[in-house]
């Protein structure tokens, strides 16, 4: 292959690579349109059956409540685990480790609050 053929090959490869992201964008847009049509169809069917719509709302509410309970239980387990961990630390190191944990928790909680606002 001579230099001009090699250059032409490189140009064509670059052009094809440039086109690819646009093709993906079009596919993604069409995918979103199909999802929107499916959502419209589902909403229409739910509007036709208020009892089913309420059942789904109740189930979603129950699901979210269960997730909050799960997070609460996880936090309680973490707290109990931390207490156990502190009890296992020798007395002369306990105060220092407790301060380090308190600083870490303070920083993490501050980051969480900052992100939520």
Q: Where are the domains of the chain?
A: 1-48, 51-117
Q: Tokens for 19?
A: 């086109």
What pLDDT score does 113 carry?
Answer: 83
Positions of the chain with pLDDT lower than 70, given as ranges: 1-8, 10-22
Q: Residues of 39-53 as b/e, b for ≥16 C-beta within 10 angstroms?
A: eeeeeeeeeeeeeee
What pLDDT score does 54 carry?
Answer: 97
């Amino acid at each position: 292959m001579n230099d001009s053929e090699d250059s032409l090959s490189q140009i064509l490869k670059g052009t094809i690579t440039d086109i690819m992201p646009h093709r993906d964008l079009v596919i993604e847009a069409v995918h979103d349109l199909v999802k929107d049509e499916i959502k419209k169809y589902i909403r229409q069917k739910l509007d036709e059956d208020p009892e089913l719509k309420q059942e789904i709302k109740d189930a979603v509410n129950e699901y979210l409540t269960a997730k909050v309970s799960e997070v609460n239980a996880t936090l309680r387990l973490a707290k109990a685990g931390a207490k156990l961990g502190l009890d296992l630390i020798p007395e002369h190191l306990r105060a220092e480790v407790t301060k380090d944990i308190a600083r870490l928790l303070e920083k993490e909680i501050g980051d969480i609050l900052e992100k939520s606002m």
